[in-house]
Chain A
Amino acid sequence: MSQHTLSVIVEDKPGVLARVSAMFSNRAFNIHSLAVGPTHVPGRSHITVVVDAPELEQLKKQLHKLVNVIKVTELASSDALESEVMIARISCDSTNRGEVGDTAGLFGARMIDLSTDSITFELAGTPEHLGSFLEHMRPYGVIDLVKSGRVAMKKLSDMARTVVGQS
């Protein structure tokens, strides 16, 4: 089953996220990742949802049926700007701390916590970038890891048609 990214503009009201996620479970669609936050327009929130689904047509139509949903855009990965934030705690000691720090630095990861036996990094980027970082950290030992949901936006070339709030 393929993954699709949807950008959904909704009213910023209590229960809206519950309605969206309820519709997904009601219609038996599996959510891979979901991120929600305010937009620059007061009263509007943006939900980025990554779903595993064979096709999106029915899903988009069902989303549109929700009264609080204002706009639904499908983002193909080729024309989407995608980003995730990750916090990862990597095992290390005095002998390899420098090596771990150097490697992480190559990815642009920022150290945000340090103990005698670990370094904690913060890193933002595309899912691929984060995946690659993790591959390089795994040999040292990943102690703990959290990821935000994926957020996405259309690339500038297509922005003219989809300015938030002017649909």
Chain B
Amino acid sequence: MTEKPYTGSNSLLESLEHEGVETIFGVPGGAILPAYDPLLDSPIRHVLARHEQGAGHMAEGYAMATGRVGVAMATSGPGATNLITPLQNAKMDSTPLVAITGQVGQAAIGSDAFQEAYTTGLAMHCTKHSYLVTDADEIPDVIHEAFHIASTGRPGPVLVDIPKDVLNQETSWSTPTLAGLPGYKPPSSEGHPKQIKAAVTMLETAERPVLYVGGGVIRAGAAAELLAFAETANVPVVTTLMARGAFPDNHRLALGMPGMHGTYTATTAIQRSDVLLAVGARFDDRVTGDVSAFAPGASVIHVDVDPAEIGKVRNPEIPIVGDARLVLRALLDRLNSARGDAPAPQRTAWFDQLGLWKTDKPLRYEQRDEGPIKTQFFIERLHSLTGGDAIIAAGVGQHQMWASQFWGFRKPGTWINSGGLGTMGFAVPAAIGAKAACPDEVVFALDGDGCFQMTFQELITASTEDIPVKVAVFNNGGYGMVKQWQNLFYGGRLSAVNLGTTVPDYPKLAEAMGCVGLRVDSPGEVDSVIDKAMAVDDRPVVIEVVTDPEEMCFPMVPAGGSNDVIVMGPEDL
């Protein structure tokens, strides 16, 4: 038997190994077929997803839990179009992701060939960059560039589309370079010294400062620098939905999440602040509410690695372009040298005020002994019984907000959710990706019934690939957040929000997919069902948690409203 020639597919796998890839999430198909043959001989693990969207979210979950680049692979046409949602999701949440798609042979491109789609065109709006490889000799450089672009500056998704004939083309591998990127210069600086100095001066003299921390702090791996700086500066910290875990919730300076469903204290602290130091945050509409009424008295210092974020929504008094970790270090150094032996500003009045708000306007819910179960209660019990020692993945909606509100986060990478795009169905596949990356951690997907029904088939992936995630499905029989909006803003006319509570039978569905299926519908049994779930470690577990269909998520700032008007509960309506 003659030796097989070394092809583009071999080069692709060797390039991925060169980038340190250990796990790929994917689904094979015609155009990507050549790449799946050398995969058999590669040390890279391939997790066979049941849908390309699942593969994409798994790669995101992998990346969010580890900070490393997640990799998804799919075939041409529908394989690629099914990846579009994860690509846009990763773009919105700045998640490092490389997607590799097969493409029809170059001779057939543009002919409406079987399973042809203009993938690089489709991906143009939902990636940081994309490639169509036309020569197998380019593969090492393109893959190297793709990983570099995905993981540097503001991270994001990169798509590499490879026609089948290129995968089959005879080639050789050579050590890649970044010479082909003359226009890509991500800022990696610690910020301009003059700006750093001005920022420290402004912050030190502030009476009511707030550190407004976004997901960029997590992406930059800057949690330790944030903690050191916040403590030395003696400034309270709010963490956005994407930044949960960047700062410990049990810290005296932690105010929790701001915005539409944030804590009263976090949202109001920003409103009353005189200096707002935003780090790796993008003044999203879910945080600001009505922009013209947002933090009206604050001078803004905005630190971001993406210059386009600075001034996009709010013009800062002091813009600082740089890497969050390096900038926070520079700010701390400057703070220490500027302050000398002088004590930190005490800001007693400000901290007294924050303490009063925390006491007067806490997050709250009422759990009656007889039920129904409140999602918030289950989340608090889960936190208590696990000691908070778990990676949490969420879908989108009420349960996501409650998870963010009631899970006391302690470290980065433990909160995996779809913030910017709000992709329902994210939790199950993202949890699988996180568990594949961190097999020794407990990974718990907290999901709604609506979300679960979008992607639950990936639990078959979890069972067959030996990725024992745990899933709590909060079954309130419908799209809870949509129903809440219809109740609040459409006079209670409920349209297309009820999913029913009788089908599917979740425990049976779970068992059919090779998982342990559990069900709980009374508050008194919550602890024991969690104990049962925690005792299983060889298979995925699904707990159906039958919850109160009428419960609404508060606090709430109605969309587009001023953050000065916070609805704390039904009594405020």
Give bound CA distance, A62 to B351, whole Å.
40
Select which of A11, A18, A62 is within 8 A of B124 by beta carbon: A18
Nearest CB in chain B: distance from A162 CB, A: 16
**Digit string of B285-313 for contact with A (CB within 8 Å is 1, else 0)?**
00000000000000000000011100110
Contact segment of B176-184, B205-213, B328-336:
B176-184
Count the A residues whose beta carbon is within 8 Å of the partner chain — how many? Answer: 20
Select which of B132, B184, B311 is within 8 A of A67 by beta carbon: B184
Q: Which residues of B contact A19 (CB under 8 A)?
A: 124
Kindly report which residue of chain A lies nearest to residue B315, judged by CB atoms. Answer: A57
Give bound CA distance, A19 to B120, whole Å.
10
Select which of A11, A26, A57, A71 is within 8 A of B311 by beta carbon: A57
If the complex has contacts A14-B132, A15-B120, A22-B124, are A66 and B308 also in contact, measured as CB distance less than 8 A?
no
Q: Which residues of B contact A57 (CB under 8 A)?
A: 311
For chain A, residues 107 to 146, give those with C-beta under 8 angstroms from any C-beta of chain B.
none
Does any Cβ of A come within 8 Å of B125's Cβ?
Answer: yes
For chain A, residues 54 to 71, give those with C-beta under 8 angstroms from any C-beta of chain B.
57-58, 61-62, 64-71
Q: Which residues of A contact B132 (CB under 8 A)?
A: 14-15
If the complex has contacts A11-B183, A15-B120, A67-B183, are A58 and B311 also in contact, measured as CB distance less than 8 A?
yes
**Digit string of A68-97 for contact with B (CB within 8 Å is 1, else 0)?**
111100000000000000000000000000
Does any Cβ of A come within 8 Å of B358's Cβ?
Answer: no
**Digit string of B387-425 for contact with A (CB within 8 Å is 1, else 0)?**
000000000000000000000000000000000000000
If the complex has contacts A22-B124, A22-B125, A67-B128, are A11 and B308 also in contact, measured as CB distance less than 8 A?
no
**Digit string of A2-16 for contact with B (CB within 8 Å is 1, else 0)?**
000000001100110
Give bound CA distance, A71 to B183, whole Å.
8
Q: Which residues of B contact A70 (CB under 8 A)?
A: 182-183
Kindly report which residue of chain B lies nearest to residue A68, judged by CB atoms. Answer: B183
Give bound CA distance, A64 to B185, whole Å.
9
Do residues A67 and B181 form an inter-chain contact, with CB atoms below 8 A? yes
If the complex has contacts A58-B312, A61-B308, are A66 and B125 also in contact, measured as CB distance less than 8 A?
no
If the complex has contacts A15-B132, A58-B308, A58-B312, are A66 and B183 also in contact, measured as CB distance less than 8 A?
yes
Kindly report which residue of chain B lies nearest to residue A61, judged by CB atoms. Answer: B308
For chain B, residues 504 to 541, give those with C-beta under 8 angstroms from any C-beta of chain A.
none
Give bound CA distance, A61 to B187, whole Å.
13
Kindly report which residue of chain A lies nearest to residue B184, judged by CB atoms. Answer: A67
Q: Which residues of B contact A10 (CB under 8 A)?
A: 183
**Digit string of B204-239 for contact with A (CB within 8 Å is 1, else 0)?**
000000000000000000000000000000000000
Output the residue of A22, A61, A71 with the most chain B CB within 10 A. A61
Q: Which residues of A contact B121 (CB under 8 A)?
A: 15, 18
Q: Which residues of A contact B129 (CB under 8 A)?
A: 67
Does any Cβ of A come within 8 Å of B149's Cβ?
Answer: yes
Nearest CB in chain A: distance from B313 CB, A: 10
Q: Which residues of B contact A15 (CB under 8 A)?
A: 120-121, 124, 132
Give bound CA distance, A64 to B186, whole Å.
10
Q: Which residues of A contact B124 (CB under 8 A)?
A: 15, 18-19, 22
Nearest CB in chain A: distance from B479 CB, A: 29
Do residues B307 and A61 form an inter-chain contact, with CB atoms below 8 A? yes
Kindly report which residue of chain B lies nearest to residue A22, judged by CB atoms. Answer: B124
If the complex has contacts A15-B120, A58-B311, A62-B308, are A69 and B183 also in contact, measured as CB distance less than 8 A?
yes
For chain B, residues 108 to 131, give those with C-beta under 8 angstroms from any C-beta of chain A.
120-121, 124-125, 128-129
Nearest CB in chain A: distance from B183 CB, A: 4
If the complex has contacts A18-B121, A22-B125, A58-B312, are A11 and B307 also in contact, measured as CB distance less than 8 A?
no
Nearest CB in chain B: distance from A10 CB, A: 7
Nearest CB in chain B: distance from A52 CB, A: 19
Nearest CB in chain A: distance from B216 CB, A: 15
Nearest CB in chain A: distance from B120 CB, A: 6
Do residues B183 and A26 form an inter-chain contact, with CB atoms below 8 A? no
Give bound CA distance, A130 to B181, whole Å.
39
Q: Which residues of A contact B311 (CB under 8 A)?
A: 57-58
**Digit string of B525-564 for contact with A (CB within 8 Å is 1, else 0)?**
0000000000000000000000000000000000000000
Q: Which residues of A contact B308 (CB under 8 A)?
A: 58, 61-62, 64-65
Give bound CA distance, A23 to B431, whole Å.
33
Give bound CA distance, A80 to B124, whole Å.
32
Q: Which residues of A contact B184 (CB under 8 A)?
A: 67
Nearest CB in chain B: distance from A60 CB, A: 9
Do residues A64 and B182 form an inter-chain contact, with CB atoms below 8 A? no
For chain A, residues 35 to 67, give those with C-beta under 8 angstroms from any C-beta of chain B.
57-58, 61-62, 64-67
Give bound CA distance, A69 to B184, whole Å.
8
**Digit string of B116-152 for contact with A (CB within 8 Å is 1, else 0)?**
0000110011001100100000000000000001000
Kindly report which residue of chain B lies nearest to residue A19, judged by CB atoms. Answer: B124
Q: Which residues of A contact B306 (CB under 8 A)?
A: 65
Kindly report which residue of chain B lies nearest to residue A9, judged by CB atoms. Answer: B183
Do residues B149 and A26 form an inter-chain contact, with CB atoms below 8 A? no
Kindly report which residue of chain A lies nearest to residue B125, judged by CB atoms. Answer: A26
Give bound CA distance, A57 to B310, whole Å.
10
Kindly report which residue of chain A lies nearest to residue B311, judged by CB atoms. Answer: A57
Give bound CA distance, A62 to B125, whole Å.
12
Give bound CA distance, A10 to B183, whole Å.
8
* Residues of chain A at the chain B interface (Cβ within 8 Å): 10-11, 14-15, 18-19, 22, 26, 57-58, 61-62, 64-71
Q: Can you list 29 residue pairs at the A/B interface with Cβ under 8 Å?
A: A10-B183, A11-B182, A11-B183, A14-B132, A15-B120, A15-B121, A15-B132, A18-B121, A18-B124, A22-B124, A22-B125, A26-B125, A58-B308, A58-B311, A58-B312, A61-B308, A62-B308, A64-B308, A65-B306, A65-B308, A66-B183, A67-B128, A67-B129, A67-B149, A67-B181, A67-B184, A68-B183, A70-B182, A71-B183
> Told that A11-B183, A70-B183 touch, could you supply 19 new A-B pairs with CB distance under 8 A?
A14-B132, A15-B132, A18-B121, A18-B124, A19-B124, A22-B125, A26-B125, A57-B311, A58-B308, A61-B307, A62-B308, A65-B306, A65-B308, A66-B183, A67-B181, A67-B183, A68-B183, A69-B183, A71-B183
For the complex of A and B, 4 pairs with smallest distance between CB atoms: A61-B308, A70-B183, A67-B129, A67-B184
